[in-house]
């Protein structure tokens, strides 16, 4: 009879197993949203870091060559890599496509490529050479969040359904194509 008592004491009861599973489920319910939030936050942090790296490389390029113009018709980040100012092409996880290029500002309508109202009021003068990043396929909320991180809340509009034409980040209502100002001369 003593051997039989020892055998029955070796396992867990059903109540104990349910208690452990309940604790694991509660912990998972608390942690999973935080993990996904951190992953989403890293997408924007990565993009802002990449924007700043290209901006720094652009300033170094200007410092050495005295111009913002590319020596050929390649993407500007390719030119920065060729001149050893940048390690790799611009990339981000916020949109589906991206491009770094040099254009001439029209100086007329805020919100279009190469026309930025950096202080929220004054547009870059017409004829200025502008280096900008274009990111395509960006959702409205992602465009709004990126604008808030780069321009701050005061220049980013009320929400993602309204076009943002102020600051260094501009986009149409609902996102789509996001333009990010890097430098001008």
Least confident of 50-54, 65-69, 149-153: 65-69
Max distance between CA atoms of the chain, in angstroms, equals: 98
Closest CA to 146 of 46, 37, 35, 34: 46
Burial code (b: 16+ CB inside 10 Å, e: under 16) for 131-159 equals: bbbbbeebebebbbbbbbbbbeeebbbee
Show the CA angle centred on residue 160, arms to residues 147 and 121, nearest 5°: 55
Q: Answer whether 132's CB lies under 8 Å from 106's CB.
A: no
What's the pTM value of the predicted model, to 2 decimals? Answer: 0.80
pLDDT of 166 higher than 70? yes
Query: Which of 3-7, 32-36, 52-56, 69-73 has the highest average model confidence (pLDDT)?
Result: 52-56
pLDDT of residue 104: 84
> Band of the pLDDT at 134, cuts 50, 70, 90?
very high
Contacts of 82 (CB under 8 A, 6+ apart): 74
What are the strands of the beta sheet with 129-139, ordered from one edge? 97-104, 129-139, 175-184, 169-172
CA distance 130 to 20: 60
d(CA 90, CA 83): 15
Q: Provide the pLDDT for residue 2.
A: 54
Give me the residue spans of the domains in the chain. 44-184
CA dist., res. 156 & res. 178, Å (int): 12
pLDDT in tens, 93-130: 899 999 998 888 877 766 667 788 888 888 888 888 89
> Angle between the 14-65 and 140-151 helix axes, to the nearest 10 degrees?
60
pLDDT of residue 12: 85
pLDDT tens per residue, range 15-44: 999 999 999 999 999 998 888 888 888 999
């Amino acid at each position: 009879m003593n051997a039989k008592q020892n055998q029955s004491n070796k396992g867990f009861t059903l109540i104990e197993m349910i208690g452990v599973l309940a604790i694991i489920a509660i912990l998972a319910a608390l942690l999973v949203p935080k993990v996904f939030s951190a992953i989403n936050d890293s997408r924007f942090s990565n993009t802002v870091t990449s924007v700043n790296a290209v901006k720094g490389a652009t300033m170094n390029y200007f410092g050495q060559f005295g111009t913002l113009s590319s020596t050929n018709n390649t993407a500007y980040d390719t030119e920065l890599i060729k001149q050893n100012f940048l390690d790799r092409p611009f990339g981000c996880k916020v949109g589906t496509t991206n491009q770094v290029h040099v254009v001439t500002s029209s100086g007329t309508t805020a919100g279009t490529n190469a026309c930025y109202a950096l202080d929220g009021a004054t547009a870059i003068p017409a004829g200025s050479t502008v280096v900008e990043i274009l990111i395509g396929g960006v959702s409205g909320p992602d465009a709004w969040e990126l604008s808030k991180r780069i321009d701050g809340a005061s220049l980013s509009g009320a929400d993602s359904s309204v076009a943002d034409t102020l600051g260094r980040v501009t986009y149409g209502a609902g996102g789509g194509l996001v333009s990010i100002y890097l430098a001008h001369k």
